[in-house]
Amino acid sequence: MATSNRSGFAAPVDPAPIMKGGLGITTRTVAIERLHHSTFNDRATALIAKAMRLIEERRLRGRQILNHLEDFSRYLVLRFAGLTNEQAHVLYLDLDRRLLAADVIYTGDHKSVAGWDNRQMLVRAISLGAEHVVFAHNHPNENPEPSPMDFGHLRNLECSLSTLGLNVLESFVVTSSGITGIKAERQRRDEVEKQCRQVIADRRSAELRAKRDATRAAKAATNHKEHCHA
């Protein structure tokens, strides 16, 4: 496993091919996550890796991971534990949505992650036989809300990767307290917006009906008055 050097970075590791079957995320692979500033020392990092392995082996192995969201949430929180800068991770899943591999694809500063190389992800997905991908990135400021940039980036990923045959199941914002699904949040906001539009449309329809009824009533009153005078 990689160890931290005095500068606060992890020593480089050889990202050996990840074993297939089950989760197949080795300690060496987990160590790749420590390629940027972390608040944890070697001992704490080793404990985090141990906790991740326990979740992998006892709670997630061979399962459709998004059907076990509580365990998956703990797993993602551990993947980003202690990082002081943003990182972007991609998780590759097979046809049955079981985890094949998890990679760190980009590291940014404390506010944002740089652009992601879709070609790199495609090559990796093909080599693993992946059908689905899940993205995750942390918010070091602990704000669980997806940013406008997060929504835009997800939309771009969906458009570009779908043409390459990869399905984006979800993209998560990760903080120490849990995870937020950006697709789920987008759907929730779309539903709220749809409901608001429906409320506005219903209100306008009611106003138009009331206006038409008032016009008819006024016209009827005028006709009645003219008839009486006649």
Domain holding 169: CATH number? 3.40.140.10
Residues present in the chain in total:
230
Residue 143 lies in a domain: yes
- Name all contacts of 155-158 with Cβ < 8 Å and 24+ positions apart: 157/116, 157/118
| Structural element, H or E, at residue 133 | strand 132-138
Pick the more confident residue, 96 or 223: 96
CA distances (Å), origin 22, targets 7, 29, 71, 160:
35, 15, 15, 28
In this structure, of 23-32, 176-185, 192-201, the range with the lowest mean pLDDT score is: 23-32
**Residue tagged 């539903």 (tokens):** 191
Predicted pLDDT of residue 85 = 86
Residue 190 lies in a domain: no
Residue 227 lies in a domain: no
Give the mean pLDDT of 29-35: 37
Residue 5 lies in a domain: no
Residue 37 lies in a domain: yes
Predicted pLDDT of residue 47 = 65
Nearest to 80 by CA among 191, 177, 194: 177
Predicted pLDDT of residue 46 = 67
Residue 195 lies in a domain: no
CA-to-CA distance for 230 and 227, rounded, in angstroms?
Answer: 5
CA distances (Å), origin 78, targets 60, 86, 209:
14, 14, 57
Residue 197 lies in a domain: no
**Residue tagged 């980036």 (tokens):** 153
CA-to-CA distance for 49 and 79, rounded, in angstroms?
Answer: 8
Residue 20 lies in a domain: no
Phi then psi dihedrals of residue 2, to 5 deg = -70, 150
Q: Quick one: DSSP state of residue 68?
A: S
CA distances (Å), origin 87, targets 24, 40, 58, 183, 209:
21, 16, 26, 19, 55
Query: Please, which pLDDT band fits residue 41 given cuts at 50, 70 and 90?
Result: low
Q: Counting Cβ atoms within 10 Å, is residue 228 exposed (0-12), middle (13-18) or buried (19+)?
A: exposed
Residues 180 and 171 sit within 8 Å (Cβ to Cβ): no
Query: Please, which pLDDT band fits residue 174 given cuts at 50, 70 and 90?
Result: very high
Predicted pLDDT of residue 49 = 67
CA-to-CA distance for 66 and 75, rounded, in angstroms?
Answer: 12
In this structure, of 54-58, 191-195, 207-211, the range with the lowest mean pLDDT score is: 54-58
Give the total number of structural domains in the chain.
1
Structural domain for 68, as ranges: 27-182
Q: What would the DSSP string read from start to end of 160-172?
A: HHHTTT-EEEEEE
